[in-house]
Amino acid sequence: MRKVTAGLFSSVDGVVEDPFLWQFDSFDAELGAGMGEMMGRIDAGLLGRVGYQQWAEYWPNAQVDDDFGAFINPLPKYVASRTLSGDLAWQNSQLIEGPLEDFVKDLKQGDGGDIGVFSSISLVRQLFFAGLLDSLMLIVHPVVAGSGRKLFNDGDPLSRLELQSSEQTSKGNMILNYGRRD
């Protein structure tokens, strides 16, 4: 069975929104290698509407020599949206038809590598609480962001995680890989 995995940059105070505002000065080679390893296991992606629209505007035409662009553009991408319709312009992108949870359960049953969840805090949360997220990588940067959306909120149901691996990088980042422990 395929695994659904998500990787999020996080500040020490738990902010996962807009990491480009605060993680840029602590990105290091070990972090890049860890992300490359994760990308090497992924052969399909899930995105929410907002993340899809932002990335579809940028990545197909990005003029950067970037491993992520070479990875994400040809990747099959499945988009969860209640408002988008019709064909999606970004190559290898399609809208998810029917309930998200049913679609992801079916996708997990198919052949292939891991399924990555990209650029959507809401989608990660939905899949996590539905029991469909198999692996959560939190990359904790040594910074207090002070404000912004967090992955988990007051009132969320009690959920236990199991630490599968951890690594400290040379610039003080912590790469924490968790699985569910029910």
> How many structural domains comprise the chain?
1
Distances (CA, A) of 124 to 42, 138, 144: 16, 12, 22
> Token pair of 63, please?
């003029």
What pTM, to 2 d.p., does this model score? 0.92
Is residue 134 within 8 Å of 3, Cβ to Cβ? yes
Residue 95's CATH number: 3.40.430.10
pLDDT in tens, the chain (182 residues): 999 999 999 999 999 999 989 988 988 999 888 888 889 999 999 999 999 999 999 999 887 767 888 899 999 999 999 999 999 999 999 999 999 999 999 999 999 999 999 999 999 999 999 999 999 999 999 999 999 999 999 999 999 999 999 999 999 999 999 998 86
Domain limits for position 109? 4-180
In three-state secondary structure terms, 19 is helix
Question: Cβ of 107: how many Cβ atoms within 10 Å?
Answer: 18
